[in-house]
Amino acid sequence: MGEQNERPAPRAIAKRQELPSLAQAIRHVHQPESQEVLLAARRRLIFDELFLLQLGMLGQRRDWQAVPARPLITSGDLRQQFIASLPYALTGAQGRVIEEIAADLAQSKPMSRMLQGDVGAGKTVVAAAALVTAVAAGAQGALMAPTEILAEQHYRGLSQLLEPLGITAVLLTGSKSAGDKRAAYEALASGQAQVAIGTHALIQPDVAFANLGLTIVDEQHRFGVNQRKALKDKGPNGLTPHMLVMSATPFPARWPSRSMATSTCRC
C-alpha cells in the first residue's frame, strides 16, 4: 500500500497528530515490536475510525442543510409567557440553550443541533420552548421518540405545558385505533394541531403536515439516517424543517445526582 494513497486520514492530518502511517499501523498491530509501537498503531486505527465517523456526520449535516428552511422569527413574547408559566425557575444552562436554539430557528439555514444533558437535567422543557417558538412563528413542530411509552410520557408532559398557551398537540403511535389516527392526520394536515408527538408512526406516508417547521428526535441514536430523512421530507414546499436531536449523557461519578449539564452543539 503506497502511503500517498492512504485512507482515510490524509497524510498531513496524520503527521500533525503524530500518527504512524496506515501501513505501519496495520503491520504493527499484528506484529508489534514493543508495547509502545502497539499502542501507537491502535491509536492510528482508532483515529481513522473516528475520522470517518466525523466525516459521515458532516456529510449528513451538509445534506440536511442543502435545502433552506423557513426562518422561524418571533417576538419571543409567547416563549417568555411559557417560561413565566413554569412552576420553577430555569437554570442558567437551560435559559442559555433556549436562546441559542431560538437564534438558530430564526435563520434560513436549517438548524442541526444536538441537545445533550443528564437524565433529569431538563431537556424536555428546552424542547418545549423550541416547540413554542416554532408555533409562535406560525409553524408546526414534531417530536419523535423511539418507543410508545416514551412518546406517551412526552405527550402527557408537553400537553400540560403547551395547552395553557392555546397550543394543541396530538399523539401518534402504532397502537392507536384507526379512528384516532385518522383524526390526528386531519388535525395535522389542516393545521388545527400545531404539535405532533409520536413514534415511527410520524413518518408514515399518511402523515402530512400543514407547515412543519421544527422536528425533534429524542434518543436520536435509536433512529437511522433514513428515518430522520423521512421526517425531514415532511417539510412544506420542499423546505427543510429545523432539527433538534436529544441525547442523555452518562452520569460522571464526580457529579451530584441530576446535575445540569445541558448544552448544544451543531451536529
160-174 residue pLDDT tens: 999 999 999 999 999
Q: Which domains does the chain have, with CATH numbers?
A: 3-64 (no CATH), 77-266 (3.40.50.300)
Q: How would you list the strands of the sheet with 212-218, edge to edge? A: 169-172, 195-198, 140-144, 212-218, 242-248, 112-117, 263-266
C-alpha 95: how far from chain center? 18
Q: What is the pLDDT at residue 256?
A: 39
- Region 200-226: mean pLDDT is 84
pLDDT at residue 105 tops 70:
yes
Query: Range with the lowest mean pLDDT among 1-5, 37-41, 114-118, 228-232?
Result: 1-5
Q: What is the pLDDT at residue 5?
A: 52
Q: Give the tens place of pLDDT for each residue, 141-200.
A: 999 998 999 999 999 999 999 999 999 999 999 999 999 999 999 999 999 999 999 999
Q: What is the pLDDT at residue 225?
A: 67
- Residue 137: pLDDT band by 50, 70, 90 thresholds? very high
Neighbours of 96 (CB within 10 A): 15
Bigger pLDDT: 73 or 263?
A: 73
Reduced to 3 states (helix: H, G, I; strand: E, B; else coil), residue 40 is helix
Give percent above pLDDT 90 in the chain: 60
In angstroms, the CA 92 to CA 113 distance is 19
- Contact, 102 vs 133, CB < 8 A? yes
Residue with cell 503527521: 15
- Residue 214: pLDDT band by 50, 70, 90 thresholds? very high
In 3D, which of 222, 165, 224 has the Cα closest to residue 195? 165
- Contact, 67 vs 110, CB < 8 A? yes
The secondary structure of residue 163, as a DSSP letter, is G
| CB contact set of 136 (below 8 Å; sequence gap of 6+) | 74, 75, 76, 77, 78, 79
Neighbours of 255 (CB within 10 A): 13
In angstroms, the CA 40 to CA 45 distance is 9
pLDDT at residue 265 tops 70:
no
pLDDT at residue 255 tops 90:
no
Burial of 248 (0-12, 13-18, 19+ CB in 10 A): middle
Q: Which helix (H) or strand (E) holds 172?
A: strand 169-172
Per-chain mean pLDDT for the chain: 85
The secondary structure of residue 241, as a DSSP letter, is P
In angstroms, the CA 124 to CA 145 distance is 12
Q: What is the pLDDT at residue 254?
A: 38
Q: Which pTM does this prediction carry?
A: 0.75
Cell readout for 200 is 415511527
Q: What is the pLDDT at residue 222?
A: 57
Cell readout for 57 is 456526520
In angstroms, the CA 146 to CA 165 distance is 27
pLDDT at residue 258 tops 80:
no
In angstroms, the CA 139 to CA 191 distance is 9
Q: Give the tens place of pLDDT for each residue, 9-58.
A: 888 888 898 999 888 999 999 999 999 999 999 999 999 988 888 887 78
- Contact, 85 vs 78, CB < 8 A? no
